[in-house]
Chain A
Amino acid sequence: MEAKIFREIIQRMDIPCLILEGNVVRFANSSAEGALKRKLIGECIGEEVLQSRTPFLEWRSFEVDRYRIYLGLDVSEIHRLRGELEKRKEFFATATHEIRSATNSILGYLALYVDGEIKLAHKELAEKAYSAALKLSALVNDLLDYVRIEEGTEELKLEPLKVNTLLHAIVEDLKGYAFRKNVRINVLPVAEHIKIIGDRKAFSCVMRNVLDNAIKYTSIKERGEKSVKVSFAEGKEMLCIKVEDTGIGIEPERLPHLFEVFGSYSPEGTGLGLAISKKFVELMQGEIAVYSAGPNQGTTVMLWFRKAEE
């Protein structure tokens, strides 16, 4: 090929491209110059430079006549996808681990129950199998919810929602549970007419989740006051719902990971509740944050929702 034409073609290529003539590597086009200058200092001479410190580029070389051509491939997308795949694999591994674990408890307790030789109170074994089955069922539901949201199949219908009515219905549902766990729930009044923009099912799921956690992690505290308080703060465009408990709190090092999938895992929970809640809140264009001063200092969850026009 004519050297001149060849160079011209290369210069017009949009991907970073270098030419090696003898010992000298030249920028073949401006995108090569840009790609290398962004990451490299000094001249680019010889092949070593090409195994460069440019993490987003991978150089492939081939020969044409007396030239060696290097094509810089942008691999940032490949890196991103690889990371994504790693995350999925981990999710799958943890999900199957949790399902197998919960099933092991159910099967184990039931097998001991059926096996007459074991001298242990039958009722106790049945209760343990039952609570393990409840946990598995919660886990499976959370997993399905999470996957549906991730895939985008969970379609939300955003509409004005009456906070007062919805929240009271949820609290009413949870009162029995809280009473059995010796936890007092106190909901401060919010104006009857206040409406937020949200999806009825998603909002209920989030609030139920947050309140359920508050009750659960307060009930397992060994001593001291056991209560959950729900209060409201009204801004111009947003409504903040604050759920404060006097429970076991959270270690500071765990706080940044709470919203990750399985990041809030504990023997009491599935580790998916907060990840699901965050996704739902974001789909409703709101925000959610968790604060805790540390172990046994209680936990506060703040949720912000967009207010509907009155």
Chain B
Amino acid sequence: MKKVILLVEDNPEHAEIVQIALTKLTDVEIKWAKDAKEALDLLKEGLKPQLILLDYRLPGMSGRELLERLREMRMEAKIIVLTAEYISKAELMKDGCNNALLKPFLPEELINKIKKYLQ
């Protein structure tokens, strides 16, 4: 069965880069939500991602708020934060994500991180 990754990212360039990079992984389906609301709608409709890639600076509800909401919902998916915020990885980890990658990153770094969580 295909594994589902939910990408929450408002920057179309960054979303495209991640989507192209992930074509390297087999048996993975990627869903793209442009903001927190779209992401929550997809989850409400029954989407069950193994992994959520989450940008922090989003229009409307921020990625940090969404992360909190997902934890409240007891979402089982692992969450990797991808952000260009002026913040350290240690601080990000405190927010309750499973892993974090600071922009700019190489697509390969992302793939290596993702692989760990899809096994």
Contact = CB atoms under 8 A, between A and B. Distances in A.
A101 B17 contact: no
B8 to A, nearest CB: 15
A97 B86 contact: yes
B68 interface: no
Interface stretch (A59-67, A104-112, A292-300): A104-112
Interface string A175-199: 0000000000000000000000000
B102 interface: yes
A100 B102 contact: yes
B72 interface: no
A97 B85 CA distance: 5
Interface string A102-126: 0111111101100101111000000
Interface residues of B, number: 22
Interface size class of A (residues with CB under 8 A): 20 to 34
B96 interface: no
B57 A108 contact: no
Contact of B20 (A96, A101, A106, A112): A112
B108 interface: yes
Given A111-B106, A111-B108, A115-B107, A100 B24 contact: no
A36 B107 CA distance: 62
Contacts of A97: 57, 84-86
Nearest to A110: B106
Contacts of B14: 101, 104-105, 108
A108 B20 CA distance: 10
Given A108-B14, A111-B108, A132-B13, A103 B24 contact: no
Contacts of A101: 11, 14, 84, 103
A115 to B, nearest CB: 7
B21 interface: yes
Contacts of A105: 11, 13-14, 17
B12 to A, nearest CB: 7
B104 interface: yes
Interface in B74-119: 84-86, 102-108
B86 A108 contact: no
Nearest to A117: B24
A93 interface: yes
Given A101-B84, A108-B105, A128-B13, 19 more contacts: A92-B86, A98-B84, A103-B103, A104-B14, A104-B84, A106-B104, A107-B104, A107-B105, A107-B106, A108-B13, A108-B18, A108-B21, A111-B107, A112-B17, A118-B23, A118-B24, A120-B20, A267-B11, A267-B12
Closest 3 CB pairs of A and B: A108-B17, A100-B84, A104-B103
24 contacts: A93-B86, A97-B57, A97-B84, A97-B85, A98-B84, A100-B102, A101-B14, A101-B84, A103-B103, A103-B104, A104-B17, A104-B103, A104-B105, A106-B104, A107-B105, A108-B104, A108-B105, A111-B108, A112-B107, A115-B108, A118-B21, A118-B24, A128-B13, A132-B13
